[in-house]
């Protein structure tokens, strides 16, 4: 840890946390009197890094009235040349401390997911990628509101070539392990990986019975070998939404954080919960002239934001093709799933048309000292401990609509508690039931089953019934056949289901019976 800088109007209190490229200190502000958290970049930042740091702070300060985006009270450069951000301080515990002890409830994870998706979408529309979404960067306000921190810092670090210090492998998409990614779907992946972590109690590719070093994790990430989530209270639709968003193939993921948030809302409705409102501040240049059909599930608020040249001129977020349903999902009742790309023309959510992100050659196969949690699996984590946010005075105000009002016909106001979702999520990878055949005679019989779409690692649930069966408990095996001895005139029936690792269990096969001779 470096010494805290001298900042006029603030008195140092103590260290909150430290990471690979910045430290967070608690200070007492003189006027107004309050405790704040100040994030300070490590010394040695060059002029270009500091300029981009200031530019990102200017953009995020204008968006900091969003209920789930870290507000910035102040930014500057200390007398010894270190850039800093002043934010509100709030003590832990936050989700990063909680999920390792006890996985979070499904309802809370869904609520966090929708709110953070709103924050991510808002930043994307202002031309900013997060690049380091993970449990440590989701904090909790005094009122229990989830808040995403460290916006823009990742892109600053990446632009200046220091990104090696900030990559958080357990939640990074596979494309980021080889080069910089400017695609908004990389943030979508990391958000889904974070939510998966909160449900399973550890990073999504970490395993209890195997090595979890950097190389092992990266291999699983690149192959999509997601650790199965086996919680009876987690609906299959939620598991599938997260698995789809964490697809190895970028094209299979939701096209935006907005669409992921909408899918999470569908799961809330499936569980008979009131959907959390998607609240997006649209800072793209075209937003002020567009119609935003807000409803009970979505609020899109066009805002005017001054984009500094340092932000405007660098590669902006790469956004796949969009249509109106993707930008404002739900207004037309279309599905909005990850495969729904809309019109063939591309539109950048940042509004900077014509910009395309060229991936750099920076390798992500890095090493570093092992450290639990804040240097997760050898990768120094972004600072997020104890830094929490609240609204900044003078930022743009929100006019929240009353979700209970409006005409319910035609889906204009969205769906509410107890209604069926207009775009239910179809299971992505539920294998079909196997087909069982039988052979043999007399007392010796063999059941054999075949799959339409076999996968490595598939297992089978075998259920026997009939008066020739002594034990009716299911058996779980990897073999695709079972040979039995059946007593004379006794009947044995078999049903088989496919259990897919990281996927869904198929329906049982048709019952197949034999009689001993």
Count up the domains in the chain and report the number: 2
Cβ proximity of 260 and 121 under 8 Å: no
If asked whether residues 219 and 130 sit together in one domain, one would say: yes
Q: What is the pLDDT of residue 208?
A: 85
Within a domain: residue 166? yes
Tokens of 356: 């395309």
pLDDT of residue 472 exceeding 60:
yes
Question: Which comes out higher in pLDDT, residue 394 or 242?
Answer: 242
How far apart are the C-alpha atoms of 166 and 150, rounded to whole Å? Answer: 11
Non-local CB neighbours of 128 within 8 Å, separated by 6+ positions: 56, 59, 60, 151, 152, 155, 311, 317, 350
The closest of 459, 484, 465, 462 to 474, measured between CA atoms, is 462
If asked whether residues 353 and 252 sit together in one domain, one would say: yes
Question: Which comes out higher in pLDDT, residue 22 or 371?
Answer: 22
Question: Which comes out higher in pLDDT, residue 401 or 308?
Answer: 308
Within a domain: residue 409? no
pLDDT of residue 383 exceeding 60:
no
How far apart are the C-alpha atoms of 21 and 236, rounded to whole Å? Answer: 39
DSSP assignment of 232-244, as one string? TTS-HHHHHHHHH
How much of the chain is helix, strand and coil, in % rounded to 5?
25, 20, 55
The closest of 275, 257, 255, 243 to 107, measured between CA atoms, is 275
39 in a labelled binding site:
yes
pLDDT of residue 416 exceeding 90:
no
pLDDT of residue 185 exceeding 90:
yes
DSSP E strand boundaries for 289-363 = 298-302
If asked whether residues 271 and 170 sit together in one domain, one would say: yes
- Domain end marker among 368, 385, 402: 385
Within a domain: residue 33? no
Q: What is the pLDDT of residue 358?
A: 32
How far apart are the C-alpha atoms of 254 and 398, rounded to whole Å? Answer: 27
Question: Which comes out higher in pLDDT, residue 480 or 126?
Answer: 480
Q: What is the mean pLDDT of residues 330-342?
A: 37
If asked whether residues 161 and 274 sit together in one domain, one would say: yes
Q: What is the 3-state secondary structure (H, E, C) of 412-476?
A: CCCCCCCCCCCCCCCCCCCCCCCEEEEEEECCEEEEEEECCCCCCCCEEEEEEECCCCCCCCCEE
If asked whether residues 118 and 239 sit together in one domain, one would say: yes
Q: List, for residues 6-61, the tens digit of each pLDDT value.
A: 999 999 999 988 766 678 899 999 999 999 999 888 765 667 777 767 776 787 78
pLDDT of residue 244 exceeding 70:
yes
The closest of 92, 105, 263 to 192, measured between CA atoms, is 263
| pTM across the whole model | 0.65
Cα→Cα distances 333→35, 291, 336, 410, 419, Å: 46, 16, 9, 8, 14
Within a domain: residue 11? no
Of 224-233, 250-259, 452-461, minimum mean pLDDT range: 452-461
How far apart are the C-alpha atoms of 314 and 159, rounded to whole Å? Answer: 9
Q: List, for residues 400-415, the tens digit of each pLDDT value.
A: 333 333 333 333 344 4
End-to-end CA distance of the chain: 80
Tokens of 317: 């977020």
Cβ proximity of 50 and 30 under 8 Å: no
Within a domain: residue 78? no
Cβ proximity of 288 and 302 under 8 Å: yes
Cβ proximity of 77 and 49 under 8 Å: no
Q: What is the pLDDT of residue 313?
A: 65
283: domain CATH number is 1.10.510.10
Could you say which DSSP state residue 163 is in? G
Regarding beta strands 146-148 and 278-282, do their DSSP bridges make them parallel or antiparallel, or are they unpaired? Answer: unpaired
Q: What percent of the chain has pLDDT over 70?
A: 70
Non-local CB neighbours of 370 within 8 Å, separated by 6+ positions: 377, 378
Alpha helices by DSSP H, listed for 35-139, are 47-63, 95-101, 106-125
Q: What is the pLDDT of residue 161?
A: 39
Q: What is the mean pLDDT of residues 351-371?
A: 34
Cβ proximity of 482 and 494 under 8 Å: yes
Q: What is the pLDDT of residue 251?
A: 92
Q: What percent of the chain has pLDDT over 90?
A: 38
Q: What is the dihedral of CA 44, 136, 224, 355, to 10 degrees?
A: -50
Q: What is the pLDDT of residue 65?
A: 84
Task: Report the number of secondary-structure helices (H) and strands (E) in the chain.
Answer: 10, 16
The set of catalytic residues is: 131
- Domain end marker among 345, 361, 385: 385
Question: Which comes out higher in pLDDT, residue 429 or 486?
Answer: 486
496: domain CATH number is 2.60.40.10
If asked whether residues 99 and 193 sit together in one domain, one would say: yes
For 371, the domain range is 91-141+149-385
In terms of average pLDDT, the best of 102-111, 308-317, 371-380, 424-433 is 102-111
If asked whether residues 481 and 376 sit together in one domain, one would say: no
pLDDT of residue 155 exceeding 60:
no
Q: List, for residues 119-145, the tens digit of each pLDDT value.
A: 999 988 888 888 889 999 998 887 889
If asked whether residues 332 and 476 sit together in one domain, one would say: no
Within a domain: residue 2? no
pLDDT of residue 466 exceeding 50:
yes
Q: What is the pLDDT of residue 103?
A: 94
Q: What is the pLDDT of residue 476?
A: 86
If asked whether residues 364 and 445 sit together in one domain, one would say: no
If asked whether residues 371 and 468 sit together in one domain, one would say: no
- What value does the mean pLDDT of the chain take? 76
Within a domain: residue 461? yes
If asked whether residues 264 and 371 sit together in one domain, one would say: yes
- Domain end marker among 359, 385, 411: 385
Rg (the chain; Cα; Å): 26
Q: What is the pLDDT of residue 330?
A: 44
Within a domain: residue 81? no
Q: What is the pLDDT of residue 501?
A: 66
Q: List, for residues 226-243, the tens digit of each pLDDT value.
A: 999 889 999 999 999 999
If asked whether residues 302 and 159 sit together in one domain, one would say: yes
3-state secondary structure of 259: helix
Of 161-175, 257-271, 451-465, minimum mean pLDDT range: 161-175
């Amino acid at each position: 840890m470096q010494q805290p800088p001298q900042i006029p109007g603030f008195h140092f209190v103590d260290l909150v946390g430290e990471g690979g490229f910045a430290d967070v200190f608690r200070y007492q502000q003189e006027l107004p009197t309050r405790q704040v958290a100040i994030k300070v970049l490590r010394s040695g930042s060059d002029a270009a890094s500091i300029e981009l740091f200031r530019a990102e702070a200017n953009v995020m300060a204008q968006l900091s009235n969003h209920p789930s985006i870290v507000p910035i009270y102040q930014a500057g450069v200390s007398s010894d040349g270190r850039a800093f951000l002043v934010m509100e301080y709030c003590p832990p515990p936050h989700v990063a401390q909680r999920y390792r002890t006890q996985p979070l409830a499904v309802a809370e994870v869904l609520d966090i997911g929708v709110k953070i998706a709103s924050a991510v979408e808002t930043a994307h529309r202002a031309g900013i990628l997060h690049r380091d979404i993970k449990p440590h960067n989701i904090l909790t306000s005094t009122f229990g509101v989830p808040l995403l921190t460290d916006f823009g810092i990742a892109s600053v670090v990446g632009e200046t070539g220091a990104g090696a210090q900030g990559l958080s492998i357990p939640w990074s998409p596979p494309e980021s392990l080889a080069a910089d990614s400017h695609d908004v779907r990389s943030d979508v992946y990391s958000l889904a990986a974070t939510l998966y972590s909160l449900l399973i109690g550890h990073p999504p590719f970490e395993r209890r019975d195997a090595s979890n070093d950097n190389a092992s994790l990266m291999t699983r990430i690149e192959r999509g070998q997601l650790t199965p989530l086996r919680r009876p209270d987690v609906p299959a639709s939620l598991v599938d939404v997260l698995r789809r968003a964490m697809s190895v193939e970028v094209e299979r993921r939701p096209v935006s954080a907005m669409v992921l948030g909408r899918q999470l809302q569908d799961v809330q409705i499936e569980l008979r919960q009131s959907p959390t409102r998607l609240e997006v501040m649209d800072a793209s240049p075209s937003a002020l002239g567009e119609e935003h059909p807000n409803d009970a599930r979505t609020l899109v608020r066009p805002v005017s934001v001054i984009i500094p040249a340092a932000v405007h001129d660098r590669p902006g977020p790469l956004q796949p093709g969009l249509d109106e349903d993707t930008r404002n999902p739900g207004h037309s009742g279309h599905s909005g799933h990850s495969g729904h790309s809309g019109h063939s023309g591309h539109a950048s959510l940042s509004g900077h048309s014509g910009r395309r992100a060229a991936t750099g050659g920076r390798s992500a196969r890095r090493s570093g000292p092992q450290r639990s949690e804040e240097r997760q699996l050898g990768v120094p984590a972004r600072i997020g401990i104890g830094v929490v946010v609240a609204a900044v005075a003078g930022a743009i105000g929100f006019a929240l609509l009353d979700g209970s009002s409006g005409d319910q016909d035609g889906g204009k106001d969205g769906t509410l508690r107890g209604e069926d979702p207009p775009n239910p999520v179809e299971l992505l990878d539920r294998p079909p039931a196997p087909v069982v055949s039988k052979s043999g005679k007399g007392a010796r019989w063999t059941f054999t089953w075949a799959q339409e779409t076999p996968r490595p690692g598939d297992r089978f649930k075998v259920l026997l019934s009939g008066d020739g069966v002594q034990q009716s408990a299911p058996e779980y095996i990897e073999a695709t056949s079972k040979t039995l001895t059946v007593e004379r005139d006794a009947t044995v029936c078999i049903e088989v289901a496919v259990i897919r690792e990281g996927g869904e269990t198929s329906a049982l096969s048709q019952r197949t019976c034999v009689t001993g001779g």
